[in-house]
Amino acid sequence: MHNFDFAKPSTIADAAKALAADGAQALSGGQTLIPTMKQRLAQPTVLVSLTGIKEMQGVCMGDGGLHVGAATPHAVVAKEARAHYPALADLAGGIGDPAVRSRGTIGGSIANNDPAACYPSAVLASGATVVTNKRKIAADDYFQGLFTTALEDGEFVTSVIFPIPQKAAYVKFNQPASRFALTGVFVAKFASGVRVAVTGAGNDGVFRWAEAERALSADFSASALSGLSVDPAGMISDLHGSAAYRANLVKVLTGRAVTAAG
Amino acid sequence: MPKDTGIGASMKRREDVRFLTGRGVYTDDLALHGQTYAVFVRSTVAHGRIKSIDTSKAAAMPGVLAVFTGEDFKDVGGNPAGWLINSRDGTPMREPKRPVLAHGKVRHVGDAYAAVVAETYAQAKDAAEQLAADSVIEELPAIIDMKAAVADPSNRVHDEIPDNLCFDWGWIEDNRAAVDAAMKAAPHVVTLELVNNRLVPNAMEPRASIGEYNPGTGDYKLTTTSQNPHLTRLLVAAFVLGIPENKLTVVAPDVGGGFGSKIYHYGEEALVLAAAKKLARPVRWTAERSESFLTDAHGRDHVTKIELGCTKDGQILAIRTETLANVGAYLSNFSTATPTFLHGTLMAGPYKVPHVYVNVKTVFTNTAPVDAYRGAGRPEATFSLERVIDKMCRELNLDPFEVRRKNLLTPDQFPYTTPVGLVYDTGNYHATLDKAMQIADVAGFEKRAAESKKRGKLRGMGLSTWIEACGIAPSHLVGVLGSRVGLYDAATVRVNATGNISVMTGAHSHGQGHETVFAQIVAEKLGIPESSVEIVHGDTSKIPFGMGSYGSRSLAVCGTAMAKAVDKIIAKGKKIAAHMLEASEGDITFENGKFQVAGTDKAKTFGEIAFSAYVPHNYPLETLEPGLEETAFYDPANFTYPAGAYICEVEVDPDTGKVDVVAFHCADDFGNVMNPMVVEGQVHGGVGQGIGQALCEFTAYDENGQLLTGSYMDYPMPRAEDVPFYNVDYSCQTPCTHNPLGVKGCGEAGAIGSPPAVVNAVIDALHRGGHTHVTHIDMPVSPSRVWSAING
């Protein structure tokens, strides 16, 4: 790891100021950034920790649904979201291991937008709103491809607002080594219709499976998917699974998520 | 009533107190006055010619004390292969020099070609980065695939070796024609092509070494993560650096796992010693996990075609194999023995097979060196054999249990000379098979399978009846087979004046529990409490000699040396007792810690004898020496042959291809068992690694020789959720006939016997689910591979 300066502001405004510095990099739970720095693949000059900002912490019900502070660790979401949005709590409680869940945060996860991360699927399937220090961004506009988001320079996530669905579930199939999602599917049923978001499988990161959404909006049962198929084109193919395998998983896991949602 | 002390008692491991409370002392824990840090510059290409290395900038950086390149070591020796193997035509193997630092060419990603020593780790790291930038390496086409390596003579890992072949070995070459004829005449021939997947050892503690040199005495000290410090001393002192062995102490303190990868001498050990001499300061190095992936000797990596000739009712008539074995870029110390004498000699398994022939071509590639890894050659042999037998059963519609029963050797056939050069001393393979079937409730399988089906799962059962040769090894035999060392072992038993005991043993414990089990044996033999016995290991300045721990040899070989030294102590004690009790030596008996004149109540306790040995006020010094310390060297007469039967049950999710091992039953014959709890732990660990190989682990290089599975993000290690609660039985015991403890060794068994049981179970599950077109899936039997096989 190369040397760097460290700042830990206590307000969003101070964080924004600190991040304006040359070579500054926001640090949340550090579950991706710190290993990358240890391997000398990233060398920011200033790390600006967002974990000392009170208003970016915690889970509570509010306008538009469940508000989750961007710097809230997965373990806290797993516990505190349980009463309001059990599927989200399940997802958070299934990320990594206890050490990862104690440090890693929702804001860090969706800002990094790893194609195999769990959280983007919940955000997209819930039609959540990503709140930043500058604006509010709809989930459908926020995720823009592998490790790419709508965030601009100097912009960082401060919270995520999740509308609460009638029914929802997340089913993940682990990549055998990293235990990230080889494929993960989040299904959320709202009065207005069903949203299905898939992580781990798509070449462009998290995506919505529109055909399944249509079928499930008409009939919210696993059997409603039976006639559908997923096109392997556009799916990730790597050491742990071919595109065809992932395409199969998308369908299998969507069915299981629907069944789990009840 | 189970014993709670001495031989056969499940005593808790005394070493766990320090391990579980964080008080173990590992190489990297040591802090030395004036220490400096070495960082290696490693090749980022698999194959390249070193055009130039400009050290000037790196050498001038802050804190940098010394910079080394291959040029600095070109005149010292290479790290040798321990076994000389001859090809079928009688020519000796090709043996390229393995230098301390690569010189001229780099031959695998991670190959160290330079090193920097600095005041701090960060300074050394910065300078190493600079040095890498100032090195010009012309990338050459990488040689990765073994078949391509042999086929293309123009592209060479070592310029002097035209076809990348180390040797082409036939075992036993003289039997080849007879085996070919038997195969031709066989009513049925089963053929199977398979891959034994390359594994990264992944010891929890990465390799680490500290070199020290005292210019006032000329003494060197190497503290290192080694399974056998004496062998390391021999190699680094005599072969590589030319240091007299009496001027070098090698210490292997607590070592956090090895699985074979820490048997070998590595160039980093020579570098820290040479640098320590140059700087007259301690020089330390600890591998980063990435370096472990790139440079620890990997395991397995065979591509095999096995043929089995049999009758239509499953009597095995002949076995013939052709194997390509990857040795990687250089010959690691045991790399030539592993695919040959630890593999070919086991190809008859526990069966009565009249004709067996094994051919192994060993191939250089631009990958990390490959060497012995838990089981070493024997898992490869067992996997080939047990898979092809399973395939035979399917082709001929035969019951796998009955086929084993028909072919297994029977107890009246021992000692049995196999057609591949071993003499099995004893065993009862039908007993372990029966025991395994009983504890696995084979009879109840159909009911369980029906229950699984209700949940949408395909249940399958797989069997493996395995044997291994361990207790490595009789020197006379391995000498004939090409070993350049003897494989005896040694122990010193020192009785201190107050009756407590220090045992210096050549075995090295890096997780096995020797400190507990060896003490149990000594305590039982001497009739004293275990707490009076201390086991000292891992320090060449303290222990008499030793060939270390691997090949399930510690108890059978080192333990026997220790038992023999204890016998000498008892003999000496009798002499002392005879003097003290004014009796004739022949009348003294020793039992329960007491020396007694037979038929009288005149006796001395062990403690009294010990005290007298060191306070010899009235000794007849012409006939009785003071002191009570004995050393024994022991060279076994034969290998030991543990064997057993493993039954695995899996559930396959046909929609995702995921395999769950839902039950695993082991019936092992380890001969006499010294500490059942430790034996169970060894079997658990071995089976865990075997399940890891069968279901999870693989090592992938891309066509350019980049290691794709170079971190835990992509190298799948088995986790607790991947393994079941094991059912381990060791009640079938046929004690080894040629060591006094009657022990055989248990460290590798689990890793040897389990992979084919798992794969056989998966194939069984798929067949039961109607997917009868699937005849084989290469390991790891991962979800995507199973799904692809079902849908292929």
Q: Which candidate in B120, B659, B784, B787 is best for mutational testing of the A interface (most A CBs within 10 A)?
A: B784
Determine contact, residues B647/B436, Cβ cutoff 8 Å: yes
Strand ranges (E), B592-658: 594-597, 603-605, 629-634, 643-652
Number of domains in chain B: 3
Q: Decide if B783 and A178 are in contact by the 8 Å CB cutoff.
A: no
Q: What is the mean pLDDT of residues B573-599?
A: 97
Q: Decide if B655 and A240 are in contact by the 8 Å CB cutoff.
A: no
pLDDT of the residue at A93: 98
Nearest beta carbon to residue A239 from set B290, B696, B700: B700
> What is the tens place of the pLDDT at every residue in B723-741?
999 999 999 999 999 999 9
Using the 8-state DSSP alphabet, how is residue B26 labeled?
Answer: B
What CATH number does residue B602 fall under?
3.30.365.10
Q: Is pLDDT above 80 for B140?
A: yes
Give the domain-ending residue among B612, B634, B656: B634
Q: Is pLDDT above 80 for B666?
A: yes
> What is the tens place of the pLDDT at every residue in B519-576?
999 999 999 999 999 999 999 999 999 999 999 999 999 999 999 999 999 999 999 9
Does residue B108 lie in a domain region?
yes
Looking at the fold, whether B650 and B730 belong to one and the same domain comes out as yes
Number of domains in chain A: 3
Which residues neighbour B286 within 8 Å (Cβ) at sequence distance 6 or greater?
A: B27, B28, B206, B207, B208
Report the complex ipTM: 0.96
pLDDT of the residue at B152: 86
Q: Decide if B788 and A242 are in contact by the 8 Å CB cutoff.
A: yes
Give the C-alpha separation, A120 to B418, whole Å: 61
Q: Is A233 on the interface with B (CB under 8 A)?
A: no
Which residues neighbour A99 within 8 Å (Cβ) at sequence distance 6 or greater?
A: none
Alpha carbons within 13 angstroms on the beta-carbon side of residue B735 total 9
Looking at the fold, whether B609 and B699 belong to one and the same domain comes out as no
Q: Is A10 on the interface with B (CB under 8 A)?
A: no
Domain membership of residue B359 as a residue range: 302-473+638-791
Give the C-alpha separation, B643 to B636, whole Å: 19
Looking at the fold, whether A204 and A123 belong to one and the same domain comes out as no
Looking at the fold, whether B335 and B460 belong to one and the same domain comes out as yes
Amino acid at A160: V
Q: Decide if A178 and B788 are in contact by the 8 Å CB cutoff.
A: no
User: How close is the nearest chain B Cα to the Cα of A6, in Å?
Assistant: 18
pLDDT of the residue at B589: 98
Q: Predicted confidence band at B1 (pLDDT cuts at 50, 70, 90)?
A: low
pLDDT of the residue at B225: 98
**Would you call B383 helix, strand, or coil by DSSP?**
helix
Give the C-alpha separation, B197 to B430, whole Å: 30
Q: By C-alpha distance, which of A120, A81, A83 is closest to A199?
A: A120
Q: By C-alpha distance, which of B631, B682, B305 is closest to B470?
A: B682
pLDDT of the residue at A169: 98
Q: Which residues of A touch B782 (CB under 8 A)?
A: 176, 240
User: How close is the nearest chain B Cα to the Cα of A64, in Å?
Assistant: 37
Amino acid at B457: K
Q: Is A41 on the interface with B (CB under 8 A)?
A: no
**Would you call B245 helix, strand, or coil by DSSP?**
helix
Q: Is A241 on the interface with B (CB under 8 A)?
A: yes
Q: Which residues of B touch A176 (CB under 8 A)?
A: 696, 716, 782-783
Give the domain-ending residue among A128, A162, A196: A162
Burial class for A64, CB neighbours closer than 10 Å (0-12, 13-18, 19+): middle
User: How close is the nearest chain A Cα to the Cα of B692, in Å?
Assistant: 11
Give the domain-ending residue among B295, B316, B344: B295
Does residue B97 lie in a domain region?
yes
Give the domain-ending residue among A108, A133, A162: A162
Looking at the fold, whether A147 and A63 belong to one and the same domain comes out as yes
Does residue B5 lie in a domain region?
no
Amino acid at B553: R
pLDDT of the residue at B210: 98
Nearest beta carbon to residue A245 from set B290, B698, B787: B787
Q: Which candidate in A38, A41, A237, A240 is best for mutational testing of the B interface (most B CBs within 10 A)?
A: A240
Q: Could you give the dihedral angle defined by the CA atoms of residues A105, A108, A114 and A120, in that order, rounded to the nearest 10 degrees?
A: 70
Does residue B672 lie in a domain region?
yes
Closest B-chain CA to A244? B788
Angle between helices B560-580 and B514-526 in degrees, nearest 10? 30
Looking at the fold, whether B726 and B712 belong to one and the same domain comes out as yes
pLDDT averaged over every residue in chain B: 97
Looking at the fold, whether B670 and B787 belong to one and the same domain comes out as yes
Looking at the fold, whether A228 and A246 belong to one and the same domain comes out as yes
Domain membership of residue A31 as a residue range: 5-49
Size of interface A-B (CB pairs under 8 A): 48
Q: Is B782 on the interface with A (CB under 8 A)?
A: yes
> What is the tens place of the pLDDT at every residue in A9-65?
999 999 999 999 999 999 999 999 999 999 889 999 999 999 999 999 999 999 999
Q: Predicted confidence band at B219 (pLDDT cuts at 50, 70, 90)?
A: very high
User: How close is the nearest chain B Cα to the Cα of A170, in Å?
Assistant: 16
Q: Decide if B714 and A240 are in contact by the 8 Å CB cutoff.
A: yes
> What is the tens place of the pLDDT at every residue in B436-488?
999 999 999 999 999 999 999 999 999 999 999 999 889 998 998 899 989 99
Q: Is B1 on the interface with A (CB under 8 A)?
A: no
Q: Decide if A242 and B782 are in contact by the 8 Å CB cutoff.
A: no
Give the domain-ending residue among B572, B606, B634: B634
pLDDT averaged over every residue in chain A: 97
Angle between helices B560-580 and B606-614 in degrees, nearest 10? 80
Please, which residues 160-189 of chain A have a Cβ atom closer than 8 Å to chain B?
A: 173, 176-178, 182
Q: Is pLDDT above 80 for B2?
A: no
What CATH number does residue A223 fall under?
3.30.390.50
Q: Which residues of B touch A244 (CB under 8 A)?
A: 788
Which helix (H) or strand (E) segment holds residue B225: the answer is: none
Looking at the fold, whether A155 and A186 belong to one and the same domain comes out as no
Three-state secondary structure of chain A: CCCCEEECCCCHHHHHHHHCCCCEEEECCCCCHHHHHHCCCCCCCEEEECCCCHHHCCEEEECCEEEEECCCEHHHHHHHCCCCCHHHHHHHHCCCCHHHHHHCEHHHHHHHCCCCCCHHHHHHHCCCEEEECCCEEEHHHHECCCCCECCCCCCCEEEEEECCCCEEEEEEEECCCCCCEEEEEEEEEECCEEEEEEECCECCCCEECHHHHHHHHHCCCHHHHCCCCCCCCCECCECCECHHHHHHHHHHHHHHHHHHHC
Tokens of residue A59, six digits: 């889970």
User: CA dist B695 to A105, B225, B334, B652, B792, Å?
Assistant: 32, 29, 27, 12, 19
pLDDT of the residue at A2: 85
> What is the tens place of the pLDDT at every residue in B615-633?
999 999 999 999 999 999 9
Does residue B175 lie in a domain region?
no
Looking at the fold, whether A158 and A67 belong to one and the same domain comes out as yes
